[in-house]
Structure 1
Amino acid sequence: MHDLTFPLRWRVALIAPALAVFLAFWLLPMIALVQVSADGHFVETYLALLTNGRYMGSLGATIALSAAVTAATLVISTICGLLLARRTFAGRRALVALLTFPLAFPGVVVGFMVIMLAGRQGLIGALSLRLTGERWVFAYSMAGLFAGYLYFSIPRVIVTVMACASQLDGSLEEAARSLGASSWRVLCDVILPALAPGLVAAGAICFATAMGAFGTAFTLATDIDVLPMTIYTEFTLNANMVTAAGLSIVLGLVTWAVLTLARSVTGSAVAATA
Structure 2
Amino acid sequence: MTDEAQLRWMALGDTTRRPAVVMLHGGPGLPDYLGDVAPMVADLAPVYRYDQRGTGQSPWRGRHSFARHVDDLAELLDAWDVPRAVLIGHSYGTDLASRFCLTHPDRVAAMLLMCGPFVGDWRTGDRAERGRRMSAAQLERLHALEELPHRTEEQEVELLTLAWFTDHADPERGWHWAAQGARRRRPVNWAMNSELGAAGRADPLGEHLAELRACLPARAELLGGVDDPRPVSALESLALRLDLPLRRVEDAGHEPWLEQPNTVRAHLRRFVQGTLGS
TM-score by shorter chain over 0.5: no
In which range does the TM-score fall when normalised by the shorter chain? Answer: under 0.3
Of Structure 1 and Structure 2, which has the larger fraction of its residues in helix? 1
TM-score with structure 1 setting the length: 0.25
Using structure 2 for the length normalisation, give the TM-score: 0.24
Higher RCO (C-alpha 8 Å, min separation 6): 1
Greater strand proportion: 2
Which of structures 1 and 2 has the bigger CA Rg? 1
